[in-house]
Amino acid sequence: MSERRSESGFAITPVYGPEDVADGLADRLGVPGSYPYTRGPYPTMYTTRPWTMRQYAGFGTATESNRRYHQLLEAGTMGLSVAFDLPTQMGYDSDAAIAHGEVGKVGVAIDSLEDMRTLFSGIPLDKVSTSMTINAPASLLLLLYQLVAEEQGVDSAALTGTIQNDILKEYIARGTYIFPPAPSLRLVADTFAYCRTEIPKWNTISISGYHMAEAGATPVQEIAFTLADGIEYVRAAIDSGLDVDEFAPRLSFFFVARTTFLEEVAKFRAARRIWARVMRDEFGAKNPKSLMLRFHTQTAGVQLTAQQPEVNLVRVAVQGLGAVLGGTQSLHTNSFDEAIALPTEKAARLALRTQQVLAYETDVTATVDPFAGSYVIEAMTDEIEAEANTLIERVFSYGSAVQAIEAGFQKSEIEQAAYLTSQQIDSGERVVVGVNRFTVDVEEPYTPLRVDPSIEQDQRDRLENLRAKRDNAEVTAALDAVRRAAEGSENVLYPAKRALAALATVGEVSDALRAVWGSYRPPESF
């Protein structure tokens, strides 16, 4: 019988026992809600209330996406998660030449305050938690959200949610960056400072390993590179003059849940333990909330298959259960048809129902950290923690996470892991049901959801009307103020908010910052 290995390369033995768990387990475990948070950030976890069921959605126009949000809320979703189209993610308006063909395709197009009003029409922002998956222009979308809340009469202190705002992983694995690393980190720090004063309950960053995993990172690489980025953000914020306990309680993380169930549970537990130690011992954080690694999880889109897509329902259920048993704070379960096209309404509802079955029909919410003390889980947690710590040290051997990125270290490591996975699938060593084993000769027909191509022209028309009716002299003056702030040391979010309130577009504010900070151009190769 051939030796089984984990995603991260550890040998998995048929039987685990006490000899596989290192001494001092009680100290490494602790109790739920206490250092080192191995067993979860809160004492009661899901025994008093389940995780937040947050379904990721957004496509086409703000009107279409708003309709889907109302459907999800009526179906029992507890929080919204906004997907933006590529032009918005890159800080371009829908009528920019570079946006042609991409408007509304992988998310909703948001060009201005008017679009954001439409997106959240009829949704009480003081009662719904909203996550926005956007990075380079994350601060601008947050400001638009705040402006809509103010128009609803909602106090900004009541707003809850998260902006991803994790620019470092864009240089590593995803590519939707705008500015070079140094000004990008300044913008992140400005956002921390702004929210501390203006939107105190908002999670100012969701430091993301998900996209690294989608690019091919192993579980160890996922948490090591993500936590290294987190350390870099903490250093940038401290260097900007913030005290660690002023901003650290609002940091959050974003991880993937794969079908390799046991390793995923162990990965989440190891990540909490590493972060608690780093924040306490390296940064001297005193507030217990600064030590807690709180995270959102999304099931693994990269593991969904276009072949026999209904099998994805099973994959997502297993992945979601792994996230829950690993102690996630919120969860998005992918729709079974996402490997083919945008999810249909029925598929999105089934994805939500998967979480509801886990929360209300199983007994996994009856006790905290059900796998605590399991020989295999504890052994895997220790292995992942040790290997991740070693990899974090390799990152900082370059001087900083940014310097490691500039040297291509993280990207190269992930690409090697992705290549190995591809080889294993091609050879059949790694089984993918419906792809390299258990295939069918003829696939059943499936009708996917398609985005109306006329959306782009509709957005162009909206922008033309917006620019015709607004006070363009006011907009010009406001954009000049954004540029001056970028040139100096003023927090750029305050003039940016005034510009967006005057109906400047996301693209125009981004261009004002580009004019000062420039655009990032990656090296040809590493």
pLDDT 10s digits, 291-337: 999 999 999 999 999 999 999 999 999 999 999 999 999 999 999 99
Question: Which of these ranges, 59-68, 216-225, 461-470, has the smallest mean pLDDT?
Answer: 59-68
How many Å apart are CA 368 and CA 505, to the nearest integer?
46
Which residues, including other chains, have CB under 8 Å from residue 81's CB and lie 6 or more apart? Answer: 54, 55, 56, 57, 130, 131, 132, 133, 332
How many Å apart are CA 44 and CA 470, to the nearest integer?
51
Q: What does the pLDDT average to over 354-371?
A: 97
Residue 54 — pLDDT band, cuts 50, 70, 90?
A: confident
How many Å apart are CA 312 and CA 19, to the nearest integer?
37
What is the strand order of the sheet 330-332 is part of? Answer: 202-203, 161-163, 129-133, 79-83, 52-57, 330-332, 295-299, 251-257, 205-208
% of residues, the chain, pLDDT over 90: 89
CA atoms within 13 A on the CB side of 522: 18
Residue 446 — pLDDT band, cuts 50, 70, 90?
A: confident
This prediction has a pTM of: 0.93
pLDDT digits (tens, 9 = 90+) for 365-395: 999 999 999 999 999 999 999 999 999 999 9
Q: How many residues does the chain have?
A: 526
pLDDT of residue 526: 45
Q: What is the CA radius of gyration of the chain?
A: 23
| Domain boundaries along the sequence of the chain | 4-35+49-427, 455-517
pLDDT of residue 2: 65
Handedness of CA 507, 509, 515, 518 (dihedral sign): negative
Which residues, including other chains, have CB under 8 Å from residue 377's CB and lie 6 or more apart? Answer: 262, 265, 266, 269, 371
Instruction: Please spell the DSSP secondary structure of 332-346, one letter per residue.
Output: EPPPTTTTTSBPPHH
pLDDT of residue 263: 98
Residue 55 pLDDT > 90, yes or no? no
Residue 524 — pLDDT band, cuts 50, 70, 90?
A: low
Whether residue 36 has a cis bond before it, omega within 30° of 0: yes
pLDDT digits (tens, 9 = 90+) for 166-203: 999 999 998 999 999 999 999 999 999 999 999 999 99
Q: What is the mean pLDDT of the chain?
A: 95
| Beta-bridge mates of residue 277 | none
Residue 60 — pLDDT band, cuts 50, 70, 90?
A: confident
Cβ proximity of 221 and 173 under 8 Å:
no
Give the tokens for residue 267. Answer: 């990965």
Residue 77 — pLDDT band, cuts 50, 70, 90?
A: confident
C-alpha 166: how far from its chain's center? 8
User: According to DSSP H, which parts of 341-454 are helical?
Assistant: 345-360, 375-396, 401-406, 409-427
pLDDT of residue 248: 96
Question: Which contacts qualify for 176-179: CB closer than 8 Å, 24 or more apart?
Answer: 176/86, 176/89, 176/90, 176/135, 176/136, 177/135, 177/136, 177/520, 178/90, 178/91, 178/136, 178/137, 178/510, 178/513, 178/514, 178/519, 178/520, 179/136, 179/513, 179/514, 179/517, 179/518, 179/519, 179/520
pLDDT of residue 436: 95
Which residues, including other chains, have CB under 8 Å from residue 434's CB and lie 6 or more apart? Answer: 305, 307, 308, 311, 440
Cβ proximity of 96 and 87 under 8 Å:
yes
DSSP state, 444? Answer: P
What is the dotted CATH code of the domain comprising 4-35+49-427? 3.20.20.240
